[in-house]
Structure 1
Amino acid sequence: MADPTRRTILSGLVAGVTSIAGCSKLNLFSQPSQQWKTGLPTGHTKIESPLCVTDKAIIFATHSGTLFNVSRETGDIKWDKRVSSTSSNGPAITQRAIYYAEYGVSALSHDGDTLWEKQRDENPGMRVTPLALNDIVVSGEYDGMVVARDVTTGREVWETSLEGPSPITSLIVAGTSIFASNQEGMLASVEPETGTMRWSYSGSYGQTVVGDENHIVLVGKEVTALSADTGEVEWTNTVTEPFGQPTIAEESVFVASRSTRTPDNPHDNEGRLWAFDLETGKRRWERETTPSPTTRPTVVDTQILAGMTDGTVQSFSTDGTHNWTHETKGDAVTALTVQEGAAYVGTDEVAILAFELP
């Protein structure tokens, strides 16, 4: 169970924290105020899953296969539960339950009790966070299958294949479709009710995917935007050594890149942020960052937040101007999640911390 002595309260919560919608009038010369930092108990390895932030909790998984529920207000560990032998997947959260996928799909109550567990025959595992959509929970599996199950019982509703055994590596919902991409770069638009494939597109190996109601953006060897309705290519542009998933916001696509470690550059300390027009693909700006990013960009109103390799989180305006730097000690290993004016991030110290945005 959790060791409460590992938690460090750094400052009290400020009453009346500004909401995300109210962050447009930021004092860009002030500094973030750290609220709390919680180290996980000894024996837990790195945090690789996304942080899911609810009204009261932060829920995430460690590489050692344990799901944690941490109080959003205080950082106290409410409960932890071993769900697999190893994991980099995050949970999907609804008011009904917490859904987790690794070597099967599990539904847990918000108290951590198991509601149901289901596994396909000879299931080789899963590499992506599941999706919880109304009456179904959707998983992307290692053998290239996309599988939907009933959220209440776990009964299989439909399954569809991306034409081959390549593992599903990206699974998102945008507009009226599910979008699944495999390791070989095939992207498919899937109808949520029946699992019927609407269209497919052959991209690049290991690409990451993000989307909104009208556009799907892939980042692999290039940055490519597709029509969400038809899969037709809308534009393509280039990025040097892209890193992580892109972000769509402010009618732009934001991409982080970082230099590859070599004998001449052993510290991976040079990177860039890029902004492209969502409709045309025209590059709006790029800027060097030293050190380089460790996380995908998170956009909150007029701020872009990213973790850096020197143990900091940095803020940039959506025009590329640098705003502020906040020291996190350890390098950020999860994208920042922002809710009601507070940012939450996991670090390579195997810790979660919260700070209030200025």
Structure 2
Amino acid sequence: MSTGNSSNTAPIGPRPVVAGLPHYAAGKAPLPVPGLQSYKLSSNENPLPPLPAVLEAIAAQTAVNRYPDPQSAVLCQAVADHLGVPFADVVAGAGSLGALNQILAAFAGQNEDGSQDEVLYAWRSFEAYPISVGLSGARSVQVPLRPDGTHDLAAMAAAVTPRTKVVLLCTPNNPTGPALDAAQTEDFIAALPSGVLVVVDEAYREFVRSDSAVDGLELYRRHPNVVLLRTFSKAHGLAGLRVGYSLSRPGVSEHLRAAAVPFAVSTVAAHAAAASLAHVAEVVERVQSLVAERTKVVAGLAGLGWDIPDAQGNFVWLPLGVDSAGFAALAGEHGLSVRAFAGEGVRVTIGEPEANARFLALCASSTKVPRRS
């Protein structure tokens, strides 16, 4: 039996696409600062713990020696009942990102002749998009945002080609914050070929307060080529359990089930999410408290002369450009971890009232301010 010859051994390497993928940069925990309580405002997490009833549901799931239900029937039925949709239209995923990966695996990639499908999305948007698209074998087509942080739907429609298989719409857009306009989105979808799948990523839907904002649920009801993505990570405070879902017509959902990762959603996560939906009025109350904090932060920034995009998620976007890294470092010195996107801006999660007040105080003292003229 040969043991191999190290001099003739080729290096172990990944597929070529992997080398070119951007790296996902998760929000960092805050560093300790003497005399200060530190706060993490870098990952758009809900600063509030899950509801007591949800914690009870988590504690009740003790059979972790058994595999979970591969269909996550408890979760899917709870979602179907809550939204008033058919059970067959709901497909569980490990967070909305897991659900997105199932969509890409089923509908976009590299074809038998070596050609690549195209996945179209605005940029900057959720930084996992180019990673997921690249790993699927498809080609990313990124259309720049408008200066105000909104999707340029006209430019996106113009970028559609016969190879376009999927369009991703992030609303509210992460990290800039604006939500898509309902009428404009309807016109955009109407302009697309019917064979193009439109994925409406509504991870922050519960925080939206704009009267003109698009409603992904209504889009799904009206358009058979629309897939809705939602998650329990943000409003429900279950980010650590990785549970979300997609919503689509049977002609789409059946293929998503075929592409789904087996047992992706744990029994604990499924029951926790179902319990949170059973107490959704309390979730809504908590979300409103965060929206109220967001309103204070936005008003405070406006009073300081800061010019920021419309904030419809649980975060605000500071378009600081080349000063982004410096502002993030300064925030760290004050016990606040924020998420800097080098050369572009800083995303700051709405956190505890004390954290939000300290953030505003920091902005008041900063000389690096995108001020209105």
Going by fraction, where is helix more abundant, 1 or 2? 2
Greater C-alpha radius of gyration = 2
TM-score by length of 1: 0.26
TM-score by length of 2: 0.25
Q: Which has the higher contact order (CA 8 A, sep 6+)?
A: 2
